Structure 1
Amino acid sequence: MESEASFQLFTSLRYDPLLLTSEENSLPTLNFITPSPFYMLRYHRDRMLEAAQHFDFDLVEEKLNDGRALHHALLQQVNDYLQKEGKEEPLKLRVLFDKEANLSLEISVIPPVSLDTLYPLSLDPPKPNPPPHWANTFKPSPLTGGALILDPTDSLPSKSSTPPRDADWVLRLDKEPTPSSPFTLLKTTNRSVYDISRARALPSNPINPIFTEVLLYNECNELTEGTTTSLYLFRGGRWVTPPVGVPSGEFTSGTLKTGEGGEDQRDEGELRKPFAGRWGHSVRSAKVGAGGQRGATRRWALGKGMCMEEPVGADTVGTGEGVWVSNGVRGFGFGRVVK
């Protein structure tokens, strides 16, 4: 287990040559240099910058202020890796900074996905596969009286021959709460609570073992996130995601430290623990969220109006419920909750 004194700041994102063809990924709001093979690099920079501000990684904050330099530094290391491996393919990049602002990059190969997985048009549930050509409804001629008689050796294809497409992800609600702390709010290598959660509640998925997730909830019995993903659930006729308490405006060195008048606000926003308080919707400060990470893909989905922030009680999650998940490496996926 990593001590709180030795942790590093990090984010995980996707490198994919396919992204060079994406108009969405080429928007200046998502990347510093376009077109870019990095998936939402600007949003990943922002989350690391916020963590650097909170944990007083001042040298990291200074380095991250130059987004174009970050792009070039990552691209140089990726190109060195690709030249050594001899082929171009999608990669997972785990970007780490220690307190002295030393950058390290862990690289691993990941499967290709479509642009629709990285930038979906909506969070509508995936539709079943179309039926095969032989499954079209048969309309007998009126001359036969509508009868169709099979010989003893005849048969019809089974309806189960081509089952409809189901969810790729298998999800399970955690068995115990995960209390909020700066290490559940901001991404660092101190991830023991996530490892513990996966050890006690991770479901199995024989078809796609990688696509398994645990739904976390806080000490107020509210969903926060998955152990590696952001969550989207259907409530009140729309998709919602648990609030995390993102500060408004630009990220600056004073965002989490002081208010507009200079007064100390160290217990505000991301630094305040969630507390129970209900009269219809949450009556907490608008800055106080449920306690999960501020994912890059989650920020994008909110910006596109695909979902809204809203507290979700853990006791409202039902077995068989469809849930969208997303992260900065695999994009978006649809899953179902198991018991």
Structure 2
Amino acid sequence: MALELGGEPVSTTPADPAEERFVFTTIRYDPQLVQSAENTAVSCNKPCPFYMFEHHYTRMQVAKWNLASWADDSTSESSPRSAEDKELLRKSPGSPAELLHGLLSAVETWKKTYPTVEPESLRVKLRLYTNGQIRTEIFNPIPRLPLSTLFPATLGTPAEHRDSGKIEWTISLDANPTEPTESTIIKTYDRSAYDRARASAGITSFAEPREVLLYTASGLVLDGSLSTPYIYRGGRWVTPMSSTGGQQGCTRRWALMKNLCVEGDVEAQSLVQGEVVFMSNAIKGFFPTIYQAPKK
């Protein structure tokens, strides 16, 4: 694995540079989660410092079969994938216990590399390559969040959030539609659709409290560039249908399990200036945004 700290990675067992295709998941490391019964319930029923660990493990298990297919399609008869690579990919990312051990080891290596830093939380990216190798990147520390943000009992109502005056994020609509592909359904090396959408919205930094909604050629809301959207329709929060072609994120899965939302179609043109759009991802948890309509 390799640890990346917002710059050059510190390598321990680096992936083959020639292996460019990968699937990945991004997960929050947060020691307070060990005390969370909700997190334990989605971490193989064991106390765990990684946010919704079990859902990330499942995501990687599902994604690797697409990775195997891509690898077979991209290799020629003169340069076939070795039996060893195929077997390593089949076994990756190992058992939940093995993956957890690898993540914990990566965090410990990070702490030894930066002994004077006492992070409240860390953003961890886990990549799985076509040759079965795993690469872990740990980025700069991130602030601790309340457990109520990570595991809300309810998403409330739009009026409650507007009246609170505490919404820090804004969200806009992409300037052009996005064609759903495998890379909009699964988190892969190909982030071009999301990069284009963020560029069209003028978002230049991940530090900006801004998001952008992608939509399909048929006019349906597809996904956020970094987060799952929930839009209030008919007295309930609605997240885009799986069949629309967006990411099946870990927090989305949890929200559906907890009946915080339902799946449904949302027309992009139905969004109105100033409405509250909830978002979620595996780093920030659940957070409200205010929709900013395109200027005419």
Q: TM-score range by the shorter chain?
A: 0.7 to 0.9
Counterpart residue identity of residue 230, structure 2? Y
Q: How does 1:8-47 map to 2 (within 5 A)?
A: 8-27=22-41, 30-32=42-44, 34-47=46-59
- Deviation string 1:138-164 (CA, Å, 9 cap, x unpaired) is xxxxxxxxxxxxxxxxxxxxxxxxx95
**CA 1:71/1:173 → structure 2, altered by over 3 Å: closer, same or farther?**
same
Q: Say whether the 8 Å CA contact 1:91–1:110 is kept in structure 2.
A: yes
Structure 2 counterparts to residues 156-175 of structure 1, below 5 A: 164-175=164-175
Residue 72 in structure 1 maps to residue 101 in structure 2: yes
2:7 — aligned with what?
A: none
The answer for the alignment partner of 1:222 in structure 2 is 220
The 3-state SS of whatever aligns with 1:292 is coil
Q: Secondary structure at the match of 2:40?
A: coil
- Classify the secondary structure of the residue corresponding to 1:69: helix
The answer as to whether partners of 1:171 and 1:203 remain within 8 angstroms in 2 is no
| Residue deviations 1:72-106 (CA, integer Å, cap 9, x gap) | 11111111111322224200001111111211111
Secondary structure of the structure 2 residue equivalent to 1:25: helix
1:55 aligns with 2:67: yes
Does the alignment pair 1:333 with 2:287?
Answer: yes
Q: Secondary structure at the match of 1:24?
A: helix
Q: Distance in 1 between matches of 2:89 and 2:228?
A: 25
Q: State the secondary structure of the residue aligned to 2:179.
A: coil
Determine if contact 1:95/1:105 at 8 Å carries over to the other structure. yes
Residue 254 (structure 1) aligns with: none
Give the equivalent residue in structure 2 for 1:313: 267
Shift of 1:117: 0.7
- 52-61 or 176-185: which moved more? 52-61
* Contact 1:233/1:240 (8 A) holds in 2: yes
Larger Rg: 1
* Distance in 1 (alpha carbons) for counterparts of 2:40 and 2:265: 32
When residues 202 and 298 of structure 1 are mapped into structure 2, their CA distance, relative to the original with a 3 A threshold, is farther
How does 1:194-205 map onto structure 2 within 5 Å? 194-202=194-202
CA distance in 2, matches of 1:307, 1:211: 23
Q: What is the alpha-carbon distance in structure 1 between the residues aligned to residue 30 and residue 149 of structure 2?
A: 13
Distance 1:97 1:31 in 2: 20
- What one-letter code is carried by the residue in structure 2 that aligns with 1:115? L
Q: Determine which of 121, 126, 129 is the counterpart of 2:153.
A: 121
Give me the whole-angstrom Cα distance separating, in 1, the residues matched to 2:44 and 2:92.
14
Cα distance in 2 for partners of 1:67, 1:12 equals 16
- 1:273-313 Cα shifts (integer Å, max 9, x gaps): xxxxxxxxxxxxxxxx1110000000000000010000111
How large is the Cα RMSD of the aligned pairs?
Answer: 2.2
Q: Distance in 2 between matches of 1:125 and 1:226?
A: 20
What amino acid does structure 2 have at the position aligned with 1:177? P
1:301 aligns with 2:252: no
CA distance in 1, matches of 2:245, 2:161: 35
Q: Which residue of 134, 138, 160 maps to 1:103?
A: 134
Alignment match, 1:144: none
The offset of 1:60, in angstroms, is: 3.1
How far, CA to CA, are the matches of 1:22 and 1:117 in structure 2?
12
Identity %: 35
SS of the counterpart of 2:189?
A: coil
Q: Of residues 236, 243, 252 in structure 2, which corresponds to 1:238? A: 236
**Would the aligned equivalents of 1:8 and 1:188 in 2 still touch at CA under 8 Å?**
yes
- The structure with more strand, counted as a fraction of residues: 2
Distance apart, 1:128 and its partner CA: 6.7
2:195 pairs with 1:181: no
TM-score by length of 1: 0.70
> In structure 1, what residue type is equivalent to 2:60?
M
- Check the 8 A contact 1:185/1:292 in 2, yes or no: yes
Q: Equivalents in 1 of 2:90, 2:259: separation in Å?
A: 30
* CA drift at 1:204: 8.9
